[in-house]
Structures are given as C-alpha cells and as structure tokens.
C-alpha cells in the first residue's frame, strides 16, 4: 500500500520491513534489529527504549508508523550532529571530540566528567570512543537533567540546594 498522509514514503517502506511481526507497530526488539551504528553494531537496548518511549503516544511500549517516521527524522538530526562532531571521520566520537561537542552545545563540563561518561558509555578499548546510539543517549539524558536542574536554579547561578529526596525525585522523573 501507499504511505499514510504525513509519512515519508521511504520511512513507510522501512517501517514495513522493520515490523517483522506485521503488528502495525514497532517494538524495542524490532527497532534494535533495524538500527546500527557506524561500526555495524546494533543500537543499545537502553537507547532504543528511550527513543520508543519518546515517540510512543499511547504508552504501549511500541510506536506506530507516524511515531516511527518522526523517530527516523530525530535520528537523522542526531546523526548529522554526530558527524559534525566526529572531526576525524572515524565513525565514533573520541574524548577530545566529546569535549568539543559539549562545549559547542553550551555545556560547561569538566574533562573529568567527560572522562566519566566515556568510561560509562564507550566500549572498552585502549582509545575509548562513543558510537551514535550512546551519543544520542548521553545528549538526551544531559538535556533532560539540565532542564530539571534549571527548574531549581531559578537565579541561573549554576548551584542549587537540594535535599537528597528532591535530588532522587529530580533524577527519577527525568529518566525517560
């Protein structure tokens, strides 16, 4: 059949291929099988779940063709940004590229924090680097947590006083 109104024909065609159980919806498992990084590794489970939840309007844990089409546009925007920050065109983002990316995105983060993210999200190797899926994951979480912090930092001074429980509530409600 033809693509529904408002859905890119290419996205519709890919949706039909990815929807392996022909349910009319894409699950986390189906999405994971469809998305690959530049090194041909599958997208991480956490990142797929994060993106499904972002585009799942029915809270069913899966997305329809409209959500899938929006998700593909979203990934393409992130891929463009990723390629912009992947200065050496290696297909992954190194420590220095990550530092530059954060700085250009307006985050004033220490090298120690970038190193912490690299240790948490990069594949273990002598020169750890971040693949596209993890880059998307980090940036989405960073934005969400920054929004939560700014709600508390009304004077925009970069510091807030929080109780432990307020901190936990802030983090838990922002973990998509």
DSSP secondary structure of 41-79: PBPPHHHHHHHHHHH-TTSSSSB-HHHHHHHHHHHHHHH
Grouping H, G, I as helix, E, B as strand and the rest as coil, residue 63 is: strand
Residue 49: per-residue pLDDT: 92
pLDDT tens per residue, range 21-80: 999 999 999 999 999 998 888 999 999 999 998 899 888 999 999 999 999 999 999 999
Residue 81: per-residue pLDDT: 94
Q: How many CA atoms are closer than 13 Å to the CA of 22, on its beta-carbon side? A: 0
CATH pick for 1-85 out of 3.40.640.10, 1.10.238.10, 3.30.420.130, 1.10.3720.10: 1.10.238.10
Rounded CA separation 139/160 (Å): 22
- CB-based contacts of 50, cutoff 8 Å, min separation 6: 137, 140, 176
pTM of the model: 0.85
Rounded CA separation 26/8 (Å): 16
State yes or no: pLDDT of 175 exceeds 80.
no
State yes or no: pLDDT of 134 exceeds 90.
yes
CATH 1.10.238.10 for domain 89-175, yes or no, is yes
């Amino acid at each position: 059949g033809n693509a529904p109104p408002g859905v890119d024909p290419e996205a519709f065609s890919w949706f039909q291929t990815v929807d392996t159980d022909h349910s009319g919806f894409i699950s986390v498992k189906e999405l994971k099988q469809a998305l690959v990084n530049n090194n041909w590794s599958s997208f991480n489970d956490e990142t797929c779940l994060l993106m499904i939840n972002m585009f799942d309007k029915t809270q069913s844990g899966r997305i329809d063709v409209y959500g899938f089409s929006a998700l593909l546009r979203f990934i393409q925007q992130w891929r463009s940004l990723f390629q912009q920050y992947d200065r050496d065109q290696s297909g992954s983002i190194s420590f220095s590229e990550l530092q530059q990316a954060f700085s250009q995105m307006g985050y004033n983060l220490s090298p120690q924090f970038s190193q912490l993210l690299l240790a948490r999200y990069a594949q273990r190797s002598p020169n750890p680097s971040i693949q596209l899926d993890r880059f998307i994951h980090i940036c989405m979480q960073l934005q969400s947590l920054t929004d939560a912090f700014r709600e508390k930092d009304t004077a925009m001074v970069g510091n807030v006083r929080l109780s432990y429980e307020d901190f936990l509530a802030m983090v838990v409600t922002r973990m998509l």
